[in-house]
Each structure stands twice: as C-alpha cells, then as structure tokens.
C-alpha cells in the first residue's frame, strides 16, 4: 500500500500538470511535528488560515517556540496562487477537536458549513488529516489565485487518496472546533462544491487513473490494493481476470467495475472506492470476497 508521502508526490505531480506551481521544502518527506517519525493517515483535510497574510514558511516549518510546537501544517497556500509542501508526516495544525469530526468528514454537507460540538480530550485530527495553512487573516481573506490553488490541491488529494469525489472530505478548522470560529473566513461548503466540480473535469495521474488507458491484471490488482481498507481475497483475482477477458476494454475503470459487479452487485467503481474509504475511516476493513 502506498504511503502518504508517496501519495503526496502524486498530488504534487498532478497539481503541477494542471499548471500550478508547488515548491518542495527540503526534507519534507521525513519532516513531522513529533520527536520520532509519525505518519499522517490522510483520511480527510483540515484547511486553516494563518491569521496573517505575511506568515513566513519558516514559521510554519519550524513552529512556535512559545507553544513548543514544530511543523504547523503539511502544505502552505500562498497568496500568489502557489503552494509549498512542508511536511509529509504528522503536523501540529488542528489538535484536539470534536470527536464527531471524522464521521462528519465522511459525508460533509455541500450546502452549509458544519457547526462543531465540544472538543474531545482524546481525539486529535493531526494524525488523520492533511493540514493546510493559507496566508490570510482578518481583513485579508484568501485571494482569487489562492482559492484556485486550494481548489486544485484538494481536488488532486481527493483523486490520489481515494476520497469521495462528489462530497470531498475537506473541512475548515472552524468546522472541527469551537476554538476557531473564523478560521478560515470563507465558506467551506463553497470550497467543497468547487472541488467536486473541478474533480469532475479532471483525471487522475497516469497509471492510477480511471481513464481508458489499457492496464494489466497485475497493475489493476495493485491499484485495488492501494485503496485503503480494501482486501482482495479468495479466488477473486481469477474471477476478475475472466471478466476482463470478456470485456471490450481493459481499462482500470472496467476492471474496477468488474470487481464491483462480481463482489458488490449493483455498485459502481466509485461507490466501491468510497465504501472502502469509509470502512478505513471507521477503523474497519472492507473485505471483498467472491460469493460462496
């Protein structure tokens, strides 16, 4: 299964292919906000603003000596419409939040922002959410270029990480905790709608796409195994191979559809991927085996 760092490389490649600039902070692959390496599971996203349009990358990278926190986000959204990837591991950006946050992230509202409950004393979003800080603050909200980059970044994350493409799990910090009521100031439902619309016009990176590019059975199974929470078991591979041989196309989409048709009758390829992602968020495993 691909690691979050490997997937972030794909995100960067995809965003760049769409014409955006992403700078890689030296050492980002091994940087995290803890004394020892701690990964970020990238199950959803939390977007913040820095509270100032001029916050430097060095501060987000090195942290706040007063609070004794290092690495304050994974990625920075700059006002000129470019991005800066700072860390591939755990970042100190959200902290303890409403315990229902991961549940709400599975199917966030597209027409309204979320009103969070009280913070949990045990659930921290840092281990599970990619954290972005946008250079903005009171009286200096996101620029149009900044919004465009953020939309593109989260669209690429949804494609690469296998998040829902129709209701992407992108939350504002203000939607996860009552401590940050204006962080960020813009509508996060609006962000989710724009990201979903953008995803509909884009394709994933070559090799992991749902395009009609022919792929081998081995590659298709590798792609399936990289869907978090999905286990391909039993004699399913043989069943998929038979379905592929009978199909007019051997695209990744056709293979995923064959799997859905065999193992989850009536389910689409996208529905299968979303179900796997939801199972992973619940800490469960979606086992896809052939019928008895």
Question: Does 77 or 63 have the greater pLDDT score?
Answer: 77
H-run or E-run covering 74: none
Phi-psi region of 240 (alpha: psi -120 to 50; beta: other; left: phi over 0): alpha
Which fold would CATH assign to domain 4-199? Lysozyme-like (3.40.80)
- Of the CA atoms within 13 Å of residue 110, those in its CB half-sphere come to 12
pLDDT at residue 15 greater than cutoff 50? yes
Q: Report if pTM > 0.85.
A: no
Q: pLDDT tens digit string along 128-179? A: 999 999 999 999 999 999 999 999 999 999 999 999 999 999 999 999 999 9
* Least-confidence region, from 4-13, 148-157, 254-263: 254-263
Q: For residue 185, give every residue at least 6 positions away whose Cβ sits within 8 Å of its Cβ, in sequence order, or none.
A: 49, 136, 138, 141
**In this structure, what DSSP letter does residue 100 have?**
T
CA distance 145 to 143: 5
- What tens digit of pLDDT does each residue of 176-230 get? 999 999 999 999 999 999 999 999 988 544 333 333 334 444 545 555 554 444 4
Domain residue ranges in the chain: 4-199, 217-288
């Amino acid at each position: 299964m691909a690691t979050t760092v490997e997937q972030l490389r794909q995100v960067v490649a995809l965003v760049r292919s769409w014409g955006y600039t992403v700078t890689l902070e030296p050492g980002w692959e091994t940087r995290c906000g803890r004394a020892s390496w701690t990964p970020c599971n990238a199950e959803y996203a939390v977007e913040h603003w820095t509270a100032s349009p001029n916050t430097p990358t060095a501060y987000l990278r090195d942290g706040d000596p007063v609070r004794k926190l290092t690495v304050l986000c994974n990625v920075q959204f700059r006002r000129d419409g470019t991005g800066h990837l700072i860390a591939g591991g755990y970042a100190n950006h959200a902290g303890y939040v409403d315990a229902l946050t991961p549940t709400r992230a599975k199917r966030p509202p597209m027409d309204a922002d979320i009103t969070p409950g009280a913070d949990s004393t045990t659930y921290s979003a840092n281990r599970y959410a990619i954290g972005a800080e946008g250079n903005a603050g009171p009286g200096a909200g996101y620029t149009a270029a900044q919004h465009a980059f953020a939309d593109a970044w989260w669209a690429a994350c949804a494609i690469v990480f296998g998040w829902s493409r129709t209701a992407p799990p992108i939350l504002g910090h203000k939607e996860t905790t009552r401590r940050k009521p204006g962080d960020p100031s813009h509508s996060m439902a609006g962000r989710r709608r724009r990201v979903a619309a953008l995803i509909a016009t884009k394709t994933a990176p070559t090799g992991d796409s749902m395009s009609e590019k022919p792929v081998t059975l081995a590659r298709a199974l590798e792609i399936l195994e990289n869907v978090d929470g999905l286990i391909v078991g039993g004699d399913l591979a043989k069943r998929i191979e038979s379905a592929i041989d009978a199909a007019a196309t051997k695209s990744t989409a056709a293979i995923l559809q064959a799997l859905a048709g065999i193992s989850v009758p009536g389910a689409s390829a996208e529905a299968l991927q979303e179900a796997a992602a939801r199972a992973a968020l619940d800490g469960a495993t979606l086992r896809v085996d052939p019928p008895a």
